[in-house]
Amino acid sequence: MLMASAMNWRKATILVSSSILGNCLLNNITKELLPNYSQSARVRYNSTELNLHRNVGFIALLLNPTYNNSVFMALIIQKFGGTSVGNLDRLQHVAKKVAQTRAQGHDVVVVVSAMNGETDRLLNLAKAIQIDPDPREYAVLLTTGEQVSTALLTMALMTLGCPARSYTGAQARIQTDNHHEKANILNVDCQALRAELAAGCVPVVAGFQGISAGGEITTLGRGGSDTTAVALAAALKADECQIYTDVDGIYTADPKLVPKAQRLDRVTFSEMLELAGSGAKVLQQRAVEFAQKNRVPLRVLSSFQDGPGTLVTFEAGSKEPSPVTGIAASQREAKLTIKGLGADSESMTQLLTALNAIHVDIDLFNQQANSAAQDVNFTLLRDDYARAHTTLRKFAEKFNASALIEDMQVAKLSLVGVGLRSHPAIIDKLFKTLGTVGIGIQLVSASELKVSIVINEKEIGHGACALHTAFGLDSATP
């Protein structure tokens, strides 16, 4: 069943009898939930459909409490990750879940990732031929993974008697810029998908991919299927975008690293952006940004067990926020040090410009300067380092740097929470906690909602558990 706290109830069909309609206070509208949304509802009374339009957040039709025959219909985007469709048994399980949602009367659009491990397998094949694969052919190759799972899931739905039709990113008209490896979505033309929904069909869309204005296949980067789902939800004005994974929501930390991690009932978009950007694997950061910008109701659920999951919301809970909501860990970091760089600002400007031109983002950053030279330390994703290596070498030579040192044995821990704004002692407690357990901090960065540190990768689990306990998250109320 749908969770009311996240529903925008774009449309509702309520079957009522004459006596019940007389008892319905149809003009009594509540703004308790989603107060910023505008939507319409329709009531079917004795086979006559009546349209109700209300410019308020949530339409509550106060029915006779003894009457239970009410059906709310919504448009839902359901996205299933690689683990959820990792083999044929799991894929058929997903098909049953989708068919069940549709049987409840809801319109459903499905987005799927490639089967678990398939993208890595394809990437390894490419690298066996080209160490640095051609970007265009990289995109052509990797997008086949999602096409396989899309076609198989569509077939599985058909065998259940559920009308379905598969779509590639291009067929779904997901239009992007020209970047083959980390493209940005520019527009989604939903005409074809709307026609499928109107015909009672479930569109199954391949995630992670789109098409440029020039007809080139593009990819949206790692985790890009989340962004596909959110983009479709925004374009179709869906009532909820549900992200199904192998965990039953968003936790205070990665349960694989921190056994005492607690599931959160809700988390704000601001916090989720920081968690996703700091290494939490449940949602892609760009997907969260897209959802926040377009006000898409977002919920994280498990493919394998029922439950409410975690709602990503604009509002914090009613309680006073804890200083720390969660701890994110990233083991995908690389630390680079450029030594003996000129102390002028031009060198740093050109470094950032060069990396931006190849779509490589710098994360943590630190300068150690004297009057003549400076050492620059920064982190970036290991996946990006291979692409950035040539650019960094050329840069170091151009500015006569004395050395370019790389360290692939680092990890990042981040404390995230809206409560950090009013707790300046957080960093002191963080240093003391890790110092007590003998963990050294190599880099640190602090912002309004996040404090991040770089440590040795071997100490990531130990450090995460120590901080989780120190900041009272072991027994946090989910």
pLDDT tens per residue across span 230-253: 999 999 999 999 999 988 999 999
pLDDT band with cut points at 50, 70 and 90 for residue 52: very low
More confident residue, 16 or 182: 182
pLDDT-above-70 percentage for the chain: 82
Q: Rounded distance, CA 196 to CA 211, Å?
A: 21
DSSP helix/strand/coil, 276: helix
pLDDT score recorded for residue 342: 75
pLDDT score recorded for residue 72: 57
Residues for the chain: how many in total? 478
Alpha helices by DSSP H, listed for 361-471, are 382-398, 426-436, 460-470
pLDDT score recorded for residue 475: 81
pLDDT score recorded for residue 371: 67
pLDDT band with cut points at 50, 70 and 90 for residue 54: very low
Q: Give the contacts of 182 (CB within 8 A, at least 6 positions apart).
A: 219, 220, 221, 359
CATH superfamily of domain region 75-246: Acetylglutamate kinase-like (3.40.1160.10)
pLDDT tens per residue across span 330-366: 998 999 998 888 767 678 888 888 888 888 888 898 8
pLDDT score recorded for residue 477: 53
pLDDT score recorded for residue 433: 96
Q: Rounded distance, CA 47 to CA 349, Å?
A: 68
More confident residue, 270 or 279: 270
pLDDT score recorded for residue 319: 56
DSSP helix/strand/coil, 246: coil
pLDDT tens per residue across span 293-302: 999 989 999 9
**Contact present, 163 and 201 (Cβ < 8 Å):** yes
More confident residue, 159 or 373: 159
Taking the chain, what is the end-to-end CA distance rounded to the nearest angstrom? Answer: 21
DSSP helix/strand/coil, 315: coil
pLDDT score recorded for residue 250: 92
Burial of 49 (0-12, 13-18, 19+ CB in 10 A): exposed
Q: Rounded distance, CA 266 to CA 286, Å?
A: 19
Range of lowest pLDDT (107-111, 190-194, 285-289, 383-387): 383-387
pLDDT score recorded for residue 197: 96
Average of per-residue pLDDT values in the chain: 82
**Contact present, 256 and 248 (Cβ < 8 Å):** no
pLDDT score recorded for residue 234: 95
Look at the block and give the residue holding tokens 């410009």. Answer: 353
- Show the 3-state SS of 348-362: HHHHHHHHHHCCCCC
Range of lowest pLDDT (59-73, 143-157, 196-210, 231-245): 59-73
Q: Dihedral (C-alpha) 86, 303, 114, 293: value to the nearest 10 degrees?
A: -160
pLDDT score recorded for residue 23: 33
pLDDT exceeds 90 at position 175 = yes
pLDDT exceeds 80 at position 259 = yes
pLDDT tens per residue across span 417-475: 876 766 778 888 999 999 999 999 999 988 888 999 999 999 999 999 999 999 999 88
Q: What does the pLDDT average to over 291-310?
A: 91
Identity of residue 378: F
Where in the chain are the domains?
A: 4-71, 75-246
